[in-house]
Structure 1
Amino acid sequence: MFEALFQSTTAFSLLAAIVGLLVLLILSYGLRSQDGRREPPGPKPLPLLGNLLQVDLKRIDSSLFQLSKTYGPVSTVYFGPKKVVVLAGHRTVKQALVNHAEEFGDREVTPIFYDLNQGHGILFTNGDTWKEMRRFAVTMLREFGMGKRLSEGRIIEECHYLIEVFEQYEGKAFNNSQAISNAASNIISAIVFGKRFEYEDPVFQAMVKRAHETIHLTGSASILVYNLFPWLGAFIKNRRCMMKNLEKSMEEIKSITVALKETLNLEMYRGFVDAFLIRMQNLEGSKIRDSLYHNDNLLHSVMNLFAAGTDTTGNTLQWCLLLMAKYPHFQDQVQEELSRVVGSRQIRVEDRKNMPFTDAVIHESQRLANIVPLAIPHKTSRDVTFQGYFIKGGTTVFPLLTSVLYDESEWESPHTFNPSHFLDEDGKFIRRNAFMPFSAGRRVCLGEGLARMELFIFFTSLLQRFRFTPPPGVTVDDLDLTPVVGNNLNPPPHELCAVRRH
């Protein structure tokens, strides 16, 4: 009897809580514009669900892009009870992120991002922590050669290891994703840790795999649900997987940093970790040491740099090679330019200015691949009136990079692989303002210079030595370009043949 009474009371309490929540949501939706300020338009939300039924959770960026064609470049969409302002089109995104950088420059730290970073590191912080960690990271990355000859030498060295892997297959079809990820990861590892890893190293392989898996799961539908309703966390398998990945990666990064600390030379640092450790020692006893330069910021900054430096560059290079196999006539033109300008000698970054078609192909691959379609969500730092609309401080903002890279008013054939987007009538390379794969403004990718150098040297070195073709029995028409959707857009699983040219 008492058990039945308890169950009925619990059920009634739960029902009352749900009804109360629905009433609050209805009131909040109904009152959101009654203060007379003009807010961005959008589809009418449903209580609790918001506009979730109007959005394809597997391709949120495409859904929001289509909605923007109805509601305009600044619109409001509700993900459940959460209000999001969507910025669409090159003009609007650039105006917000560059011209109103201060107002749109904060990061939206969702529950899953907070779980993974705990308010530490570079990517998912705001205020003093973000400013100091980003400033320090940019300074150190530049000092370790990002965009300079030091990095060029590291990338060229890594190319030799990557080419060796490709040659082992002797022209037979294989999946190149693991090898490319290892190569990209070793570049950021050399800068962060001061060393590269052997591709067969099981610890290194596990770190790379977990970085990819975590980034992919961040964009899954179940994690979106968790971000809207954090109390569901214990029931969501993908979150448990991500937290397990975090725990293991933290253990391994701690182990690496401890080993570096034991061999630290205060007169010379090998990489980012050494620089951070020396900075910690120099600030011993100061307030800034306690508030900013501590182990948590070190470990999470390293994780941010390692994951970002591994995933996006590796995925982009995979897209480049897949597109060359898909469009062999463009591969012919790249290889003709390589033979004419470089021949058989080692390619250098300075060759880029004499290889406009190759440069255009790389840029077009980045544009069409659209690796980070939603960017990482922003948040308004204060109330702002933008394009005539009032946006309250603390509002989540999606700068829709899909709408920039596929903007029909900026690109002649936005949904087609067309390197001429980046070539003038004389065949010279031209920069396009709407080329924004690294985002823009205060939160622009801090590794852009390094990524651009990696893509150029890796891509040209591979095309110099190999012809990339579909596997036997597979035509170019059969090659699928439908992305695997996570937080980033990855190439679909595929195999290619790397046939030696000489």
Structure 2
Amino acid sequence: MVDASTAFTLLLLLYLAVQLVKLQRKKKQFPPGPTPLPIIGSLWQLKFVKMHRDTLMEEAKTFGDIYTLWLGPFPLIVLNGYQGVKDGLATHPEDFAARPITPFFRNMGKKVGIMLATGETWKTQRRFSIMILKSLGLGRRTMEFQIQEEACHLVESFMNMKGKPMNPSSFLTLAVSNVICAVVFGHRFSDDNKEFHDLLETVEHMFRFGGTFWQYLYDILPWLMHHLPGPHKGVFSDCDILRAFIRNEIRKHQERGVPSEPGDFIDYYLTQIEKTKGQSTPAYDEDNMIQSIFDLFLGGTETSSTTLSWALLYMVAYPDVQAKVQKEIDAVLTPSQTICYEDRKNLPYTNAVIHEVQRFSNIVSTGMPRLCTKDTMIRQFPVKKGSVIFSNMASSLYDPKEWETPRQFNPSHFLDKDGNFTCRDAFIPFSIGHRVCLGEHMARTELFVFFSSLLRTFNFRLPDGVKEVSIEPIWGATLRPHHFEICAVAR
């Protein structure tokens, strides 16, 4: 007679065999890819657990630049190489403008706001947020003034270090974050504000978690992970801390009343809530306001500050590039001249270096996933409504068909034969299609003004006794450099 444990094992094996057959049939409806297994999908292969920047590009060599991975039972259509990403996101951009609301995204974003919302909610909040940012000076001198002011504070902070070894990350994060704070909250935070520094560390912790195996595991087994301890619990707690901080700033605005002339994002949003209060289903409420600010704060802090960290790291790794940037700046700008974004037109090499920093560091290695909103095609592959699209941004920025030396830091990628700046179509660090980063212009201005201000003022070098520095990234929601220290020596 078969005992209970043997019977259970046989039933389990039968269940897995049936699921495997179903999975293989389902697999034929999608672009080719590695064989998935029941429950774990493609994660049975260790390389998909310990992801690095080249993992997805390596798979494309076998399956082509449009292929399918399986996150548990869920298929992900991967777009690889510039042409693959373009064909997927730009040919029919409206078909891939939605966001899949995975269990992790649902818990983190509550299906409201901009970044982790989809459908009409996303359209309404994004459109309104862009309108507010333009009203506050996005793309004009008023917002650039905020960036120039923070550049002055940043230079002063570096100067106070008196050439001693330091990790520039916290200074850069504070400067970049204060730009978005001035826009959203109407004020900046001082260098010695401990609460704000703790908040920035909370944000950094969230980005460290993103894109890790723990996030994938949460999406595969949310019912189990909800009851288990782990780093995912800390991330959701971090989200609550940031929302509480934002909620407190909103309360301060409410206590002083809505002004006749809005001065920041919160003022504009509170005014809009009042205007639409009588509607049966108002599109503007406090939950959407908090999450929209949450998204702007995250997007306006981490990406630019991390890119600037890479920029300074590359300057000490490639001192000849640093010297050439400084020579060009010295020839064009006076020491007392306020640097503005328009100056990039007269500083082609400096502009090329900044773009090469973005390309080579490639901090957002894989774009946020998109959701197909109707049956469509990507090249010869039919894509069903509800399919999840995963764009491998690194593969575009490292595409050997688009860049002469993709694995080298080479500012000449952005210069023509006469030394004039030129930007290639494959340069898509802010993504493409309808979900392109709404803060792209602000980020470009920050990178140029901050980088040029620092290079004009300081020589950056490694501390005494340090011979080299790693330029390999740490995997996460953004690719960050390992801890490093440099000396900023006044010129």
TM over 0.5: yes
Q: 2:31 aligns with which of 40, 55, 58?
A: 40
Please tell me whether residue 235 in structure 1 is matched to residue 239 in structure 2: no
- Report the counterpart of residue 88 of structure 2 in structure 1: 96
What residue identity is the alignment partner of 1:22? L
- Report the counterpart of residue 3 of structure 1 in structure 2: none
CA contact (8 A) 1:41 1:75 kept: yes
CA contact (8 A) 2:52 2:475 kept: no
Shift of 1:27: 3.2
Q: Which moved more, 1:405-414 or 1:266-275?
A: 266-275
- Report the counterpart of residue 5 of structure 1 in structure 2: none
Deviations 1:145-170 (A, max 9, x none): 12210111101111111112111111
What residue identity is the alignment partner of 1:176? P
How many angstroms apart in 2 are the aligned matches of 1:24 and 1:442? 40
Please tell me whether residue 280 in structure 1 is matched to residue 273 in structure 2: yes
Written as runs of structure 1 = structure 2, the 5 A alignment for 1:93-172 is: 93-172=85-164
- Report the counterpart of residue 295 of structure 2 in structure 1: 304
SS in 1 for 2:69: strand
Shift of 1:193: 0.9
Shift of 1:22: 2.4
- Report the counterpart of residue 475 of structure 2 in structure 1: 485
How many angstroms apart in 2 are the aligned matches of 1:121 and 1:340? 46
Please tell me whether residue 357 in structure 1 is matched to residue 358 in structure 2: no
- Report the counterpart of residue 429 of structure 1 in structure 2: 421
Deviations 1:401-449 (A, max 9, x none): 0110000100000010000000000000001000000000100000000
How many angstroms apart in 2 are the aligned matches of 1:17 and 1:136? 54
Shift of 1:115: 0.5
User: Per the alignment, do residues 500 and 13 of structure 1 end up closer, same or farther by CA in structure 2, a change over 3 Å counting?
Assistant: farther
User: Per the alignment, do residues 18 and 402 of structure 1 end up closer, same or farther by CA in structure 2, a change over 3 Å counting?
Assistant: farther
Please tell me whether residue 84 in structure 1 is matched to residue 83 in structure 2: no
Shift of 1:288: 4.4
Query: For the aligned residues, what is the CA RMSD?
Result: 1.8
Shift of 1:359: 0.2
Shift of 1:57: 2.8
What residue identity is the alignment partner of 2:202? R
Please tell me whether residue 316 in structure 1 is matched to residue 307 in structure 2: yes
What residue identity is the alignment partner of 1:32? K
How many angstroms apart in 2 are the aligned matches of 1:129 and 1:414? 39
CA contact (8 A) 2:414 2:424 kept: yes
How many angstroms apart in 2 are the aligned matches of 1:177 and 1:385? 43
SS in 2 for 1:442: coil
Structure 1: gaps (5+ residues): 1-7
Deviations 1:294-332 (A, max 9, x none): 111011111111011110010001101110110000001
Please tell me whether residue 28 in structure 1 is matched to residue 22 in structure 2: yes
CA contact (8 A) 1:264 1:274 kept: no
- Report the counterpart of residue 173 of structure 1 in structure 2: 165
How many angstroms apart in 2 are the aligned matches of 1:256 and 1:384? 44
SS in 2 for 1:334: helix
CA contact (8 A) 1:226 1:236 kept: no
How many angstroms apart in 1 are the aligned matches of 2:82 and 2:8? 46
User: Per the alignment, do residues 77 and 343 of structure 1 end up closer, same or farther by CA in structure 2, a change over 3 Å counting?
Assistant: same
- Report the counterpart of residue 459 of structure 2 in structure 1: 467
Q: Which moved more, 1:358-367 or 1:338-347?
A: 338-347
What residue identity is the alignment partner of 1:276? Y
Written as runs of structure 1 = structure 2, the 5 A alignment for 1:340-379 is: 340-344=331-335, 345-379=337-371
How many angstroms apart in 2 are the aligned matches of 1:29 and 1:269? 55
Q: Which moved more, 1:371-380 or 1:216-225?
A: 216-225
Written as runs of structure 1 = structure 2, the 5 A alignment for 1:29-68 is: 29-32=23-26, 39-54=30-45, 55-68=47-60
Shift of 1:222: 1.5
How many angstroms apart in 2 are the aligned matches of 1:265 and 1:117? 27
CA contact (8 A) 1:61 1:400 kept: no
How many angstroms apart in 2 are the aligned matches of 1:256 and 1:485? 32
SS in 1 for 2:93: coil
Please tell me whether residue 295 in structure 1 is matched to residue 283 in structure 2: no
- Report the counterpart of residue 485 of structure 2 in structure 1: 495
How many angstroms apart in 1 are the aligned matches of 2:224 and 2:426? 39
How many angstroms apart in 1 are the aligned matches of 2:422 and 2:490? 32
What residue identity is the alignment partner of 2:255? E
Q: 1:187 aligns with which of 175, 179, 190?
A: 179
Q: Which moved more, 1:240-249 or 1:351-360?
A: 240-249
**Percent of counterpart pairs with the same letter?**
37
How many angstroms apart in 1 are the aligned matches of 2:462 and 2:8? 57
Shift of 1:13: 11
SS in 2 for 1:106: coil
CA contact (8 A) 2:42 2:48 kept: no
SS in 2 for 1:107: coil
Q: 2:245 aligns with which of 245, 252, 275?
A: 252
CA contact (8 A) 2:97 2:371 kept: yes
How many angstroms apart in 2 are the aligned matches of 1:257 and 1:21? 53
How many angstroms apart in 2 are the aligned matches of 1:62 and 1:17? 39
CA contact (8 A) 1:58 1:485 kept: no
CA contact (8 A) 1:222 1:236 kept: no
Q: How many residue pairs end up in the alignment? A: 486
CA contact (8 A) 1:373 1:400 kept: yes
SS in 1 for 2:175: helix
Shift of 1:471: 1.0
User: Per the alignment, do residues 357 and 46 of structure 1 end up closer, same or farther by CA in structure 2, a change over 3 Å counting?
Assistant: same
Shift of 1:113: 1.3
How many angstroms apart in 1 are the aligned matches of 2:14 and 2:214? 25
- Report the counterpart of residue 326 of structure 1 in structure 2: 317
CA contact (8 A) 1:84 1:397 kept: yes
How many angstroms apart in 1 are the aligned matches of 2:69 and 2:474? 24
How many angstroms apart in 2 are the aligned matches of 1:18 and 1:242? 34
SS in 2 for 1:43: coil
| TM-score computed with the length of structure 2 as normaliser | 0.95
Structure 2: gaps (5+ residues): none
CA contact (8 A) 1:112 1:227 kept: yes
Shift of 1:17: 8.5
What residue identity is the alignment partner of 1:285? G
Shift of 1:196: 0.7
